[in-house]
């Protein structure tokens, strides 16, 4: 199943990094967060990606154009000026890098990929700035079971601050930044049938507004509830938190093994 990743936003709340690069290319553990997302899908057996580019899309294009070279040993014959790639460790990925407009909204970006997806019975979509340990295989199985147009992953956002439970003045339980106990939000990691394109109008369409609202009204939107790890990278605080988890070998979204 093909996977669409929305990579075109401005990332204004992470301007410390996004002034020079698109948000999906902000690094965690020395690799772009986009790479982390793709590795998770790849771990579950999916290697065809459609990247919807916008702001500084050329940065992402250059990265993947050079990716195999960077991940390979290189033999150089200076006399003949011949370079040979040796023992590449690059992943078996097929990637469509699609320009979807600098000002397009999320639904508009997906609409611009219609031609590449129209022959697919279903496809996946997520944002290029959030990581999770969500079980992609179980998500697809859930989507296949209900025969509706859309599946959205519902998650509980991480609390910004720690919580305490008291017995009078004594702290009986302390949790540092737990997942929120109440309320579900859109965590990305969608699965759509191709009928989704009937709900998209033009570049100004915001996927999370009229399309999802209409799907819900039509009884065509189902929720896959994920109680595990999920975290977006909206701010520098989020980026540093993810970095800390990676460096301490406690990154819950790292579902794959090292090469």
What is the pLDDT averaged over residues 218-246?
Answer: 94
Torsion angle, alpha carbons of 26, 106, 255, 30, to 10: -10
Q: Is the pLDDT of residue 166 over 80?
A: no
- Which pLDDT score, from 0 to 100, does residue 173 have? 61
Pairing status of strand 73-77 against strand 82-86: antiparallel
What's the pTM value of the predicted model, to 2 decimals?
A: 0.89
> Residue 70 is inside which H or E element, if any?
helix 57-70
- Which pLDDT score, from 0 to 100, does residue 244 have? 96
Q: Is the pLDDT of residue 71 over 90?
A: no
Q: pLDDT-derived band of residue 258, with 50, 70 and 90 as boundaries?
A: confident
The β-bridge partners of 163 are 175
- Contacts of 244 by beta carbon, 8 Å cutoff, 6+ apart: none
Q: Is 192 exposed, middle or buried (0-12, 13-18, 19+ CB in 10 A)?
A: buried
- Distance between terminal CA atoms of the chain? 23
Spatial contact of 158 and 179, defined as CB atoms under 8 Å apart = yes
Render the burial of 13-51: b for 16+ CB within 10 Å, e for the rest: ebeebbeebbbbbbbbeeebbbbbbbbbbbebebeebbb
Tokens of 245: 């988890």
- Which pLDDT score, from 0 to 100, does residue 76 have? 87
- Which pLDDT score, from 0 to 100, does residue 196 have? 97
What is the pLDDT averaged over residues 178-192?
Answer: 81
Write down all domains in the chain, each with its CATH number in brackets: 3-247 (3.90.550.10)
| pLDDT, tens digit (0-9, with 9 covering 90-100), for 90-131 | 899 999 999 999 999 999 999 999 999 999 999 999 999 999
d(CA 73, CA 207): 42
Portion of the chain with pLDDT greater than 90, in percent: 73
């Amino acid at each position: 199943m093909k996977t669409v990743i929305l990579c075109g936003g401005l990332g204004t709340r992470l301007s410390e990094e996004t002034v020079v690069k698109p948000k999906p290319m902000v690094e965690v553990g020395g690799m772009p967060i986009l790479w982390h997302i793709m590795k998770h899908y790849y771990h579950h057996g999916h290697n065809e990606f459609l990247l919807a580019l916008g702001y500084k899309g050329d940065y992402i294009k250059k990265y993947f154009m050079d990716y195999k070279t960077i991940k390979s040993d290189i033999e150089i014959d200076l006399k003949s000026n011949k370079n040979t790639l040796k023992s590449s460790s690059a992943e078996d990925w097929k990637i469509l890098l699609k320009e979807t407009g600098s000002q397009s909204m999320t639904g508009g970006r997906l609409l611009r990929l219609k031609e590449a997806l129209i022959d697919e019975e279903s496809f996946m979509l997520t944002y290029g700035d959030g990581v999770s340990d969500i079980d992609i295989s179980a998500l697809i199985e859930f989507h296949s079971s209900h025969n509706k147009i859309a599946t959205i992953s519902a998650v509980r956002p991480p609390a910004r601050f720690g919580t305490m439970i008291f017995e009078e003045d004594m702290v009986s339980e302390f949790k540092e930044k737990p997942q929120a106990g109440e309320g579900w939000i859109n965590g990305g990691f969608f699965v759509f049938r191709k009928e989704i394109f009937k709900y998209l109008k033009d570049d100004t369409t915001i996927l999370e507004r009229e399309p999802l609202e209409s799907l819900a009204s039509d009884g065509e939107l189902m929720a896959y509830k994920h109680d595990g790890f999920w975290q977006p990278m909206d701010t520098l605080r989020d980026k540093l938190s993810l970095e800390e988890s990676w460096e301490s070998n406690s990154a819950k979204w790292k579902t794959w093994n090292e090469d």
